Amino acid sequence: MSTGASALYVGRVMHRRTRPRPHALAYRVFWVLLDLDEIDALDARLRLFSRDRANVFSFRTADYGDRSGRPLRPQIEERLAAAGIDTSGGPIRLLTMPRILGYAFNPLSVFFCHRVDGSLAATIYEVHNTFGEIHSYLIPAEGASRPIVQDSAKAFHVSPFLTRDMSYRFRLQPPGDDVAVHIAAKDSAGPMVYASLSGERRPLTDRNLLKLLVTHPLLTLRVTLAIHWHALLLVAKRIPLIRHPGPAAADVTVGRQAP
């Protein structure tokens, strides 16, 4: 039986590019929502899931944050404090794809940072690119209205088909019975790329993990292969390649909640 705040979310990812030539992709995905304070208990309860050791599904601390392997909660709290956000030890929950048979690649993972009373204070969007780099966008997420709308300058080279001179608008439905993140990327000429993830909640149990292993075989490897396949399609469509401009100026970019 599943207990606590941690859960599974099963849904899909969509990307759509509007110019200079249209291109779209969509695929089925699932994520785990992990309360950082529950991961050790999940390791003990689940046979198919482990923390920092091999299993069918696993979570490796060093995949996130500064990738040092030190505990994530103090890392996240340090980043929140540097941005002037105090959650006073409230829950921190991470939406991410687990390692499957030891392999993982997460284009986007999201930390949901709550106050002690359960209200959402901020989100941290952690982005990985295929060059082995990582960057975080930390944005306040106040108020009861949903969806939450947030803005940030683009500071990280994600794709060789997009410049860094862009901005993001996030529309967020925090985890509940479902979860959704919609991202619009625009440059000086207007919106260019739309991306979204959406999923429905399921209990985090061995039974459901086993089902997902069958319905979404080798998911994390397939995500990596899909990224490279669609890159080839973009090359075939003669989308210009952008030279890597070098690393971001900082590990974390602080955005703002839209009024």
Distance CA 106, CA 207 (A): 24
The pLDDT score that the predictor gives to residue 142 is 83
Pairing of β 134-140 and β 252-254: parallel
The pLDDT score that the predictor gives to residue 10 is 98
* Amino acid, single-letter form, for residue 210: L
Burial 65-85 (b: 16+ CB within 10 A, else e): beeeeeebeebbbebbeebeb
Mean pLDDT of all residues in 130-139:
95
List residues bridging with 70 in a β-sheet: none
Sorting pLDDT into bands at 50, 70 and 90, what band is 190? very high
The pLDDT score that the predictor gives to residue 3 is 56
In a domain, 141, yes or no: yes
In a domain, 1, yes or no: no
Strand, coil or helix: what is 256? strand
pLDDT beyond 60 at 2: no
Number of domains observed in the structure of the chain: 1
The pLDDT score that the predictor gives to residue 183 is 98
Mean pLDDT of all residues in 59-85:
96
List residues bridging with 179 in a β-sheet: 199
In a domain, 57, yes or no: yes
pLDDT beyond 80 at 13: yes
Strands (E) in 65-107, as ranges, are: 92-96, 99-100
In a domain, 72, yes or no: yes
151-172 confidence digits (pLDDT tens): 999 999 999 999 999 999 999 9
pTM comes to: 0.96
In a domain, 76, yes or no: yes
The pLDDT score that the predictor gives to residue 232 is 94
The pLDDT score that the predictor gives to residue 143 is 73
In a domain, 80, yes or no: yes
pLDDT beyond 80 at 256: yes
Q: With contact defined as beta carbons under 8 Å apart, do 123 and 141 qualify?
A: yes
Residue numbers of the domain that contains 149 = 7-257
Compute the CA torsion angle 202, 203, 208, 212 (nearest 10 deg).
40
In a domain, 2, yes or no: no
The pLDDT score that the predictor gives to residue 144 is 66
Nearest Cα neighbor of 42 from 102, 10, 2 is: 2
Distance CA 189, CA 232 (A): 25
In a domain, 201, yes or no: yes
List residues bridging with 149 in a β-sheet: 171
The pLDDT score that the predictor gives to residue 104 is 93
